[in-house]
Structure 1
Amino acid sequence: MVAPIVIVGTGLAGYSLAKELRKLDATVPIVMISRDSGDFYSKPMLSNALCAKKSAASLVLKSSVAMEEELRAQILTHTLVVKIELQARCLHLEGGRIQFYSTLVLAMGADPIRPVMAGNGGDSVLSVNDLDDFSLFEKSLAELDARNTSRNVLILGAGLIGCEFANDLLARGFNPTVVDVEDRMLARLLPSQASRRLQTRLETAGVVFRFKAAAVSVNRAADGLAVELSDGTAMRCDLILSAIGLKPRLGLAAQAGLAVHRGIITDEKLMTSEPGVFAIGDCAEVGRSVLPFVMPIMFQCRALAATLTGTPTAVKYPAMPVTVKTPACPTVICPPPVRAEGAWDVHETEDGLEALFSDSTSPDRVLGFAIQDKSISKRQQMAARVAT
């Protein structure tokens, strides 16, 4: 019996790869291993599900059973991989089962970074990184509704996810306060003028921002949660949502001896330091970058599917704009490379904002852009200007 291609993970990366493989090969055996139910859903919808009046259950697009049928694959749900044995080309699963593979693809995703805080309320801090997380978050909000409290939600982190959840919570009548150690929102992605424009719109809509501060302690109180910030101030809230970032799941790979850094290190063909083992998605470090966005994952999956079906293909990225789901101020960002050296050129009017990030050594070379409000109609035009 031919050992299958085994994909560890049934998130966007895992399922997208399986779909791309089936486009190219209808018969290759595929086994997918999921730590949860394996149901297929759109992860980007998690941060604007409240505005769309979506519940955790309604976010499910297809069950794991339906995905098995569609992909003609075996999907092992609620199954943990405890060890990768590279020499034997097998996985040790929880409960003692062994799963052999011909090719192994690690698409395990990332875990939310957990804030370290003093006090007795640290275990009450929530994060939303998957459907189960969102279900718990949804339940917690419903409990606040039932208690008829002041409905104050503290969000830790003013990055993409924190800003999107802040805007989304407004749609349900909650009062979000966003705390971040930076001096402005989306500081690593936007020029200051765009940050200010987005902040002003969200503040007008009802969001409160506290910058240059972090939550250092949280304690349960009679009227909710008492939080102390690093700037010496205190505040009270009913719920805390952490959105301070993600950390790729590296434990299995590192234990097996695969090269890891910020993610599981791969070459341009997504192969790890071990031939026959590949990594994609939020857990992969490709070209010294971890790109936790939808579009890079799609390009990785197409390239890897070609490689695994006999056509070695390096992943190449075009300009990949990201839509920030903040209806209060429509924003699209095409971030420059992390280590890029350059400067923003910003043009702002009442109707919109356009910003280009140009290479410091070659000013005509555009490395990224940001657009807001009516200017988002120029998304494709701006993307065409970005050097790839």
Structure 2
Amino acid sequence: MSAPLTILGSGHAGITLARDLRKLAPDLPLRLITREDGHYYYKPDLSKAFAAGKDADGLIKNPLEQLVEQLKAEVLARKDVTAIDPAAHAVQVDGQWLPYSKLVLATGADVIRLPIAGDAAAEMLSVNDREDYARFRSLLQPGARVLIIGAGLIGCEFANDLAAGGYAVRVVDIAGWPLNRLLPEAQGRALQDGLGKLGVTWQLGASVASLDRVGGAIEARFSDDSRATVDVVLSAVGLRPRIRLAADAGIACKAGIVVDDHLQTSAPDVYALGDCIEVNGRLLPYILPIANASRALAATLAGTPTKARFPAMPVIVKTPACPTLVNPPPPVAGSWEVTGTAPDLEAVYKDEAGKPLGFALTGAATSKRGQYVPLMPAIHEPA
């Protein structure tokens, strides 16, 4: 029997690829290796599970046994791949080298941990998988006071979800407004107001200096010398692509694992997909780019080389308190032009020559998505 095509990771990228591949190559030997328990869940659901009343088990869409049957694949769960040998076409698991015909790195991203002082700093949580969510949920008593560090996409989504679920939420961020890297100030303020009406308290322009245990609670001290007493601290300051395994194997990496238009890395027969990759200098940690890339990569792996296209793909921010949609512009000098009345605002990011490169919509203006998408350049169009 030939060595199996091997996918590292059972997150959305890895499972989507396996499903796309099975449509094209139903008999191809396939192996998935994952550090998680192998049950499939939709990771974006993590930040909206509280208001939906779902516990960690309630997020499971396909139990491991069902997934194995659907994919007709071998799934090695609770296994860490400790090394890749591209020359030998093998990965190391539990000290054993397992051969592969082709390898796909769908390893995702790790949470960024901030260096914070205090004897309760180690109690700071993050939610990057279903097990993290189970731990976080187990610590939340009804009406608990939650401090969220980070007012980015994940922080705002959790703030909306937790506040809607009856928790007292405070969000701290060094930025002046929420989603400051994605939205102009006027729209960031609209989001701030929307979540504020839901009960979210904001601590903007400040960072957390220390976290200390005081009785049964945690005292947070901020850089502006203010303090707050909370029960649980959630860090949501961002994600960093998991590249160490690839880098240790000599595979080219920058901020992410560098791939070409076919999603191939610098190593022969090694590809990458999802939050861990870098395409033409950009990270694409969103659902729609993964879907596009997965279809192209499945075709390539099934024998029909296909370049991955990344057209304009707006990101839906899961904040019902202030609906928000953004098509992030590339890191090019320019400015936002904002029209409308808060919270129903439309913004277009234009370069210095006046070319539209991105847009953002809030409130009722999100219904105008179809008017803006055709105006946007592709994120990446292969040559």
| TM-score range relative to shorter protein | over 0.9
The equivalent of 1:281 in structure 2 is 274
Distance across 2 between alignment mates of 1:118 and 1:373: 39
1:194 to 2:184 alignment: no
SS of corresponding position for 2:311? coil
- Cα drift, residue 359 of structure 1: 2.5
Q: Deviations over 1:197-249 (max 9, x none)?
A: 11111112211111121112111111400111122222211110000001111
The equivalent of 2:59 in structure 1 is 59
The equivalent of 1:205 in structure 2 is 198
Distance across 2 between alignment mates of 1:201 and 1:374: 13
Distance across 2 between alignment mates of 1:123 and 1:64: 32
The equivalent of 2:109 in structure 1 is 110
1:295 to 2:294 alignment: no
Query: Structure 2 matches for 1:45-194, cutoff 5 A?
Result: 45-94=45-94, 96-141=95-140, 144-145=141-142, 151-194=144-187
Q: Deviations over 1:323-362 (max 9, x none)?
A: 111111111111111x12222111112572111112222x
Q: Aligned to 1:231, which of 211, 216, 224?
A: 224
The equivalent of 1:372 in structure 2 is 362
1:268 to 2:261 alignment: yes
Distance across 2 between alignment mates of 1:369 and 1:232: 37
1:383 to 2:377 alignment: no
SS of corresponding position for 2:46? helix
The equivalent of 1:6 in structure 2 is 6
- Cα drift, residue 185 of structure 1: 0.8
CA contact (8 A) 1:342 1:359 kept: yes
Q: Deviations over 1:4-35 (max 9, x none)?
A: 11000000000011111111111111100010
One-letter code aligned to 2:204: F
CA contact (8 A) 1:116 1:216 kept: no
Distance across 2 between alignment mates of 1:273 and 1:193: 43
Moved more, 268-277 or 5-14: 268-277
CA contact (8 A) 1:269 1:315 kept: yes
SS of corresponding position for 2:157? helix
1:306 to 2:296 alignment: no
SS of corresponding position for 2:283? coil
Percent of residue pairs identical: 45
Distance across 1 between alignment mates of 2:59 and 2:130: 8
After superposition, the Cα gap between the structure-2 partners of 1:91 and 1:351, relative to the gap in structure 1 and judged at 3 Å, is closer
One-letter code aligned to 1:8: L
- Cα drift, residue 320 of structure 1: 0.7
SS of corresponding position for 1:231? coil
SS of corresponding position for 2:228? strand
SS of corresponding position for 1:384? helix
Distance across 2 between alignment mates of 1:291 and 1:259: 17
SS of corresponding position for 2:291? helix
Between the two proteins, the alignment pairs up a number of residues equal to 378
The equivalent of 1:354 in structure 2 is 346
The equivalent of 1:33 in structure 2 is 33
Distance across 1 between alignment mates of 2:26 and 2:146: 48
CA contact (8 A) 1:280 1:301 kept: yes
- Cα drift, residue 93 of structure 1: 0.2
One-letter code aligned to 2:235: S
Question: In angstroms, what is the RMSD of aligned CA positions?
Answer: 1.2
